[in-house]
Amino acid sequence: MPRLLDWLRWPRLPRPHLPRLLPYSLQGRLILLMAVGVLLTQLAGNVIWAAQRRAEARDEARTAAQHLAHSASSAVRFFLSLPPNYRPLIIQQFREMGGTRFLVNINRTPVPVRALAGQELTDAALAQLRATLKEDLPNTPDLRIAFAWPERLAVDDDGTMLADLPETWTQHILLARPAPVLLIQVELDPGHWLYLATLMPNPYFLESGNPLTHDRLLLQALSLAAVLLVTVLVVRWITRPLAALSEAATAFGKGENPPALPETGSREFVTTARAFQDMRERIQRYMEDRERLFVSISHDLRTPIMRLKLRTELLDEDELRNEFHDDIDELDMMVKGALQTVKDSDIHENATEVRLDALLGRMVRDAQLAGHEVTFVPSGLTVTAKPLALKRAIGNLLNNGLHYGERVELAVRETDHNIEIVVRDHGPGVPEEALASLAQPYVRLEHGRNQNGSGMGLGLSIARGIVQAHGGELVLGNAADGGFQATIVLPGGVFSPG
């Protein structure tokens, strides 16, 4: 049965020698792909939206700069029309009135400015301001325009800072949250520079071109979390029937009889569940027919074999009679061996928790009472298995070791997600070229025939079938320091500390 059901197990596909970028489960891969898809969609949307927003912000900055330039050119023309000694009086009136659009001052030389640099919107606004002012004031000999932060901005050539001025003078420029200040300096006449400072209509216009605002990032994070939550729920709902199908296939491969899969869910899963159920029933019928066939053949061959034995006794020549006896005995042994293979590989019992120390301890004591040298170190481990089947598999390996080795060592160890039962003898070992075919039925090596003439070469084959029925693997090989070693590897999730 195990050999016929090997294909029901999940195949061990070769994994590429690449970093583990994708999870191995279908659920994990679907969730990851959905998350990546949402992130890519958001990224593409952000790129398109950011490009449109930047274009709109540039247009808004140019329009606002054009209006400010017209207002500034009107102020410049107004001060140009005044006599030089009247200008300080008008500026003082502006300061006392408050509420003016520009902070105005007259300096002897241009005020040094630590201008903002490398800003797309400020560059666009400055270009529009310069072009409009040149157009409105074609006869202006010198014109200086820049954006600067208020805490770094001086207002006169003596070094007075904007923050040092009275609040009534700067109440529309110094805001609670700093915004870039537009500074326009125009030479009215030699030794007289008009100083104009103001804010853009949208003081925080630099932020309007930034697509990655905190509000937008929070909104996108919430939308991604909502999509992932829905994705997890939907993927788990979709993959739950596949997990049930996997568990049923694994249980059936181990010789168990799992309940029928529910025919609910998507049309594809219902079709797969029905196909699996039909396949399981056909295989089960085939196994039952195979067992009945072997039993019938064994029963039917006993009568002609017995007749041949009786007729052999009637032969007069002793040599010829002995040859017939040998052939008939060999035929009888083959029939019994075939029947034993079927029965030993298909043991109908339920899996239960098996304490390996107790199981192996009894086998070791029985071997020692028979005069054999067997050692075993308790491990304290338990395994979920069919007790009689597992005992028969270990017994076959132990008997082989006792026949062909001087002494046998039993060991149980826990590895990554597996438990291993090792049967190691101190015999001559096995040629490397014979290891691949050693567990096939009726395969016997030369030294095996010499030391155990009554064997049929079925022990390793039966042991391998039982181990595979448990979902495990039988590993055969020569020990590093001599002798032969057989290791039963049972899969993870079937053992626990005893």
As separate numbers, helices (DSSP H) first and strands (DSSP E) second, the chain gives 11, 12
Residue 269 has pLDDT above 50, yes or no: yes
Domains and CATH numbers, the chain: 1-11+21-249 (no CATH), 267-345 (1.10.287.130), 352-497 (3.30.565.10)
**437, pLDDT greater than 80:** no
- In angstroms and rounded to an integer, the radius of gyration of the C-alpha atoms of the chain is 47
CB 401 within 8 A of CB 457: no
Beta-bridge partner residues of 121: none
Q: pLDDT at residue 70 above 90?
A: yes
Query: What is the arithmetic mean of pLDDT over 23-50?
Result: 80
Which pLDDT score, from 0 to 100, does residue 343 have?
A: 56
pLDDT at position 69: 92
Quick one: pLDDT at residue 479? 85
**Residue 218's pLDDT band (boundaries 50, 70, 90)?**
confident
Phi, psi torsion values for 95, nearest 5 degrees: -65, -40
pLDDT of residue 15: 47
Q: Quick one: pLDDT band at residue 240, thresholds 50, 70, 90?
A: confident
Q: Is the pLDDT of residue 353 over 60?
A: yes
Q: Which residue type sits at 113?
A: V
Task: Report DSSP state, residue 161.
Answer: B
Yes or no: say if 419 and 490 are a contact pair by the CB < 8 Å rule.
Answer: yes
Please answer whether residues 121 and 57 qualify as being in contact, where contact means their C-beta atoms are separated by less than 8 angstroms.
Answer: yes
Q: Which residues of 372-382 are buried (b: 16+ CB within 10 A; e: fewer)?
A: bebebeebebb
In percent, the amount of the chain with pLDDT more than 90 equals: 11
pLDDT confidence tier of residue 223, bands split at 50, 70 and 90: confident
pLDDT at residue 495, as a whole number: 38
Distance CA 217, CA 223 (A): 10
DSSP-assigned letter for residue 101: S
DSSP string computed for 423-491: EEE-S----GGGSTTTTSTT---HHHHHH-TT--S-HHHHHHHHHHHTT-EEEEEE-TTSSEEEEEEEP
**How far is the CA of 44 from the CAs of 175, 216, 217, in angstroms?**
36, 14, 14
Positive or negative torsion for Cα 147, 152, 156, 157: negative
Half-sphere exposure of 149 (CA within 13 A, CB side): 7
Residues 278-313 as b/e (b if ≥16 CB within 10 A, e otherwise) read eebeeeeeebeeeeeebeeebeebeeeeeebeeebe
Report the residue count for the chain: 498
User: What six digits make up the tokens of 495?
Assistant: 């053992």
* Spatial distance between the Cα atoms of 477 and 486, rounded to a whole number of angstroms: 7
pLDDT > 70 fraction of the chain, expressed in percent and rounded: 82
Range with lowest mean pLDDT among 244-248, 330-334, 393-397, 424-428: 330-334
Give the per-residue pLDDT at 128: 93
Question: Does the pLDDT of residue 66 top 90, yes or no?
Answer: yes
Per-residue tokens: 310: 């009786």
Average pLDDT, the chain: 79
Most confident among 96-100, 138-142, 342-346 (mean pLDDT): 138-142
pLDDT (0 to 100) of residue 467: 86
**DSSP-derived secondary structure for 388-425:** HHHHHHHHHHHHHHHHHSS-EEEEEEEETTEEEEEEEE
Q: Is the pLDDT of residue 297 over 50?
A: yes
- pLDDT score at 185: 92
Residue-wise pLDDT tens digits, 19-35? 456 677 777 777 788 88
Residue range 228-244: average pLDDT? Answer: 80
pLDDT score of 14 more than 60: no
The mean pLDDT of 255-259, rounded to a whole number, is: 71
Mean pLDDT of 151-155: 86
496 has pLDDT over 50: no
Closest C-alpha among 294, 291, 340 to residue 462: 340
